[in-house]
A and B are shown apart, each in its own frame.
Chain A
Amino acid sequence: MQIKLEQLEKTYQTQGSTSVHAVNNISLTIPSNTIYGIIGKSGAGKSSLVRLISLLEKPDSGAVYYNNKRVDNLSEKELIQQRREIGMIFQNFNLLSSRTAAKNIAYPLEICNTPKEEISDRVAELLDLVGLSDRADAPISTLSGGQKQRIAIARALAHNPAILFCDEATSALDPQTTRSILQLLRDIQKKMNLTVVMITHQMEVVRDACEQVAVLNEGEVVEIGSVEDLFSHPKSKVTNEFLAHLTENAEGLVRWSSEGGQYILRFIGAKTGEPVLSHMAKKFDVEYNIRAGGIQHLPGDDIGTMVIDIAGTSAECQRALDYLKENGVIVEEAFKTEGA
């Protein structure tokens, strides 16, 4: 299902007379049958935005469309019906502790008065889908974080939704579990032709799972594009910060030394293999020193990243850099995160 947001606005009144402009004129189109990332730092308005898109709250102004059907102005009764056609998972799993794993998955079916036999068949099917058939009768507290999120995913998919919202779904999980949950989400997205909206503050999640992404900052969309574009041509300061953070996190990027690193070079796809750097050193009177390097595997393409210093006269350095750019390498002045 395609989701379209038109000029959404939401302001929250806080204690006293101050207010927070959480969602500021956001217009977005989330295409059908894809995994769409919405990334932002905490306080960027992600959670407010997802509450508006998932119909938990109404925007102050603007509109939300599911497949060209306006859904933000439905009556309470219609809203409840519409919510039954979307699935949602959360950072804290939000499972019912009074129910077993299987009974949690049964909940969304129960509230639609689904016949008992149908419920037990569907629950068994879903438990199988998330690979937890053996834990059907386990109390929630005995499950691990990853298992809880799997049960939550099964619960969210119980009534075959067309949209799945993931609100920081992997933020409480360790890196390994995060990868397995993202893998599961990718698999079921394909299997069920879902539109998945991933709200996250982790660039790793966007890199590993999403096809397209919107970057949020202070309630506004600052950048939209495919994940490869975002990684190869980050435009906004916030995106650069996220990428720098990812680089610092050393996932796929190995740093030789902690100091230095004047320029960040990005090699996309085929360019990853060419010896442009050594050509540069031969052609111009400069020397280079590699500080860090690595390859980011994206769902569509690979991106090589290298952090280097270039030594030489400034004119010669500039010519060398121009040469790199001519050869399709993306050159950035290293972005220093505050305090780094």
Chain B
Amino acid sequence: MDWNQLILLVGTATWQTLVMVFWSTMFSLLLGLPLGILLCTADPLSGIKPRPALFQIVTRVVNVLRSFPFIILMILLFPLSRILIGTSIGTTATIVPLSIAAAPFVARVIETALKEVDPGVVQAARAMGSTNSQLIWKVLIPEAMPSLVAGITLTIINLIGYSAMAGAIGGGGLGDLAIRYGYQRFRTDVMIASVIVILVMVEIVQVCGTKLSDRLIAKR
């Protein structure tokens, strides 16, 4: 067993995974946050600004995107990667489908968290003359922060899983390494190392997320 080679392989792949997960988390939040806010505020029954038609369209689109198996969605989104990044292979290119696949999930997570906010508190803020954007940024989001943090934690963990799957179709990262070296070249050591690194990553994210969410609750 060549330790130097193993460390180099796993190190590079780990870095690629981190890059993929980081950027796809950022982009999926960027896409999912407005959608989640929209799903909460435009809800015909409970929203602060009910917009039934828009709500129906967004909720359907989100459902459709979420019901696609991730691997199929990735293949479908290759052309988009080619347009945006110039290629559909490699770590950078994988960020596109990862972000888009995670965005509807993020939208639901954010919608659920925001809808948990006590309607009485929102009503009180409205009675004091808050504008809708003040309700969103000064009431809904701060009040929902612990659930939002828990939801984002869940998103990152999902994206670690997704990014490993993305490896199967040439995305790079730990999943890719595990398949090419661990499976196809019978390098059990690489396989085990990749799995351990992924496990550790998930564990670290989960522990940090839970701690942060708990701390936010404890300060209240």
Q: Interface on A for B, CB 8 Å cutoff?
A: 54, 56, 80-84, 86-88, 90, 92, 94-99, 107-108, 110-112, 139-141, 152, 155-156, 165
Contacts and interface: CB of A to CB of B under 8 A. Distances in A.
20 contacts: A56-B127, A80-B130, A80-B131, A83-B127, A88-B127, A88-B128, A92-B120, A94-B121, A94-B123, A95-B121, A96-B121, A96-B125, A96-B139, A97-B220, A98-B143, A107-B125, A108-B128, A111-B134, A155-B128, A156-B128
A107 to B, nearest CB: 7
Interface in B116-170: 118, 120-121, 123-131, 134, 138-139, 142-143, 145
Contacts of B129: 80-84, 108, 111-112
Interface in B186-201: none
B138 A56 contact: no
Contacts of A87: 128
CB-based closest 8 A-B pairs: A84-B129, A94-B124, A83-B129, A98-B142, A94-B120, A88-B127, A108-B128, A94-B121
Contacts of B219: 139
A147 to B, nearest CB: 15
Given A80-B129, A96-B143, A107 B121 contact: no
A143 B171 CA distance: 53
Contact of A90 (B120, B138, B145, B220): B120
Contacts of A139: 219-220
Q: With a 10 A CB-CB cut-off, give which of A86, A96, A108 has the most chain B CB atoms.
A: A96
A56 B126 contact: yes
> Chain B, interface size: which category?
20 to 34
Nearest to A156: B128
Contacts of A110: 138
A137 to B, nearest CB: 11
A contact face: mostly helix, strand, loop, or mixed? mixed
Interface in B171-220: 219-220
A99 B145 CA distance: 12
A148 to B, nearest CB: 12
B108 to A, nearest CB: 22
Given A54-B127, A56-B127, A80-B131, 19 more contacts: A56-B123, A80-B129, A80-B130, A81-B129, A83-B127, A83-B128, A94-B120, A94-B121, A94-B123, A94-B124, A96-B121, A96-B139, A97-B143, A108-B128, A108-B129, A111-B130, A111-B131, A112-B129, A155-B128
Contacts of A140: 220
Interface of B: 118, 120-121, 123-131, 134, 138-139, 142-143, 145, 219-220
Contacts of A95: 121, 124
A98 B220 contact: yes
Contacts of A165: 127
Nearest to B142: A98
Contacts of B138: 107, 110-111
Contacts of A107: 125, 128, 138
A110 B220 CA distance: 20
A136 to B, nearest CB: 15
Given A94-B118, A95-B121, A139-B220, A83 B126 contact: yes
A81 B143 CA distance: 24
A74 B131 CA distance: 15
A226 to B, nearest CB: 29
A99 B139 CA distance: 10
B52 to A, nearest CB: 14
Given A88-B124, A111-B138, A98 B145 contact: yes
Nearest to A89: B124
Q: With a 10 A CB-CB cut-off, give which of B126, B131, B134 has the most chain A CB atoms.
A: B126
A107 B125 CA distance: 9
B134 A90 contact: no
B181 to A, nearest CB: 48
Contacts of B142: 96, 98-99
A112 B198 CA distance: 49
Nearest to A140: B220
A329 B125 CA distance: 49
A224 B67 CA distance: 60
Nearest to B218: A139
A273 to B, nearest CB: 47
Contacts of A86: 127
A159 to B, nearest CB: 8
Nearest to A141: B220
Contacts of B123: 56, 90, 94
B126 to A, nearest CB: 7
A110 B130 CA distance: 10
Contacts of A81: 129
Contacts of B128: 83-84, 87-88, 107-108, 111, 155-156
A112 B120 CA distance: 21
Q: With a 10 A CB-CB cut-off, give which of A97, A108, A155 has the most chain B CB atoms.
A: A97
